[in-house]
Amino acid sequence: MMKFFKSLRTLIYTIIAKIFLKDFNARIKANGFTKLNKHTKVGDNVHFNGLRVFGKGNLTIGDNFHSGFGCKILTSYHNYNGDSIPYDNTLIIKDVIIGNNVWIGIDVTILPGVHIGEGAIIQAGSVVVKSIPELAIAGGHPAKVFSSRNIEKYYQLKSNNKVS
């Protein structure tokens, strides 16, 4: 009976996630509450465990993406150099791009204008303020690259279509 309710919950979260999508290829699964926006485009085989998108900019997520719960992606921010303080009524809009085969850990925040390269991993609890190169493993506040994937192994798995 418990498995039934878990499957039902996943179905409901997945439907909610798809409602606001700009475009998507095929397989999307949401195991936790996921709120995307109309400026979000996702690839195939995308797994959300609870992610929220804030802002008016575009968000592009590649194939085989996985996120932990509590993740936030911002695509715009208030203009603090405008006509009033602490900020004025205008928004600065910056798109976020996440490559294929990216894994974002629990409670990660990604700020506007960030590009996360293919195969990158972002450690749980990180705040990503700058772009992360492909195959990098980054973490912290602000997130910094501290390691990288095994390049040969990554491309071997990719060529054999070994994705989860």
Place of tokens 């009976």: 1
Cross-strand pairs, 28: 46
Give residues with Cβ within 8 angstroms of 98, minimum separation 6.
59, 60, 61, 62, 65, 104, 110, 115, 116
Question: Has 39 been annotated as catalytic?
Answer: no
Cross-strand pairs, 93: 76
Measured CA to CA in angstroms, residue 2 lies from 7, 69, 75, 92, 115 at distances of 9, 20, 37, 45, 39
Name the DSSP letter for residue 158: H
Instruction: Single out the catalytic residue among 39, 47, 66, 78.
Output: 78
Give residues with Cβ within 8 angstroms of 152, minimum separation 6.
none
How does strand 136-140 pair with strand 143-148? antiparallel
Catalytic residues: 78
